[in-house]
A and B are shown apart, each in its own frame.
Chain A
Amino acid sequence: GAVVSQHPSWVICKSGTSVKIECRSLDFQATTMFWYRQFPKQSLMLMATSNEGSKATYEQGVEKDKFLINHASLTLSTLTVTSAHPEDSSFYICSAGASGRTETQYFGPGTRLLVL
């Protein structure tokens, strides 16, 4: 089956630092990956669509200068939270569709970010 990994699974950082989260498709290529944020007991909110070889598409209200996305290869997308603040603490999850099938999204295990 299609497997998506994320690294790190947990990160605790001080306010003002930047944090990079990696999302990898392990056994398939993904020209498009998606980044979500989920607050406790809430739904998944799409932050941005990561496109291999081109700029990411951000959802309304998501600051592209704060959440930098780089999709450098067909198996790797990175999300960098720049100058993180406590309100950025959340569960960040990526997803990708295998074989170009967007309707079936495979999610990574998520990254819990705690900003102190």
Chain B
Amino acid sequence: GQSLEQPSEVTAVEGAIVQINCTYQTSGFYGLSWYQQHDGGAPTFLSYNALDGLEETGRFSSFLSRSDSYGYLLLQELQMKDSASYFCAVLYNFNKFYFGSGTKLNVKP
């Protein structure tokens, strides 16, 4: 089976840096993705890591350690519009995704 753990809620102030951790137990692991979802909206793709290391895309970075079954999403220079839910998702058995329960990020002025 698949299991993912991520914090349920995180609060940070505008301009700050926040890290959202994700640990997983997965069979047939291919990679770890991160998605952002605003209230009432659909998830949007942020990043995908198949190999160990850090991937940077603008203000967002994602990290994966396959040996530790661990990854994180790093958001820098937080903006109010970053307030949303962030889901880590494992890609397993080549073409299936299992989503974590999501982390609600509250950005305060």
Contact = CB atoms under 8 A, between A and B. Distances in A.
Contact of A108 (B42, B45, B91, B95): B42
B43 A93 contact: yes
B41 A46 contact: no
Interface stretch (A12-20, A70-78, A82-90, A99-107): A99-107
A109 B95 contact: no
Contacts of B100: 43
Contacts of A105: 33, 35, 45, 97
Contacts, number: 50
Interface in A26-83: 32, 34, 36, 42-46, 49
**Interface size range of chain B in the complex:** 20 to 34
A93 B50 contact: no
Q: How large is the interface on A (under 10, 10 to 19, 20 to 34, 35 or more residues)?
A: 20 to 34
Given A32-B95, A44-B87, A103 B43 contact: no
Interface of B: 30-31, 33, 35, 41-45, 48, 50, 87, 89, 91, 94-102
Interface of A: 32, 34, 36, 42-46, 49, 93, 95, 102-110
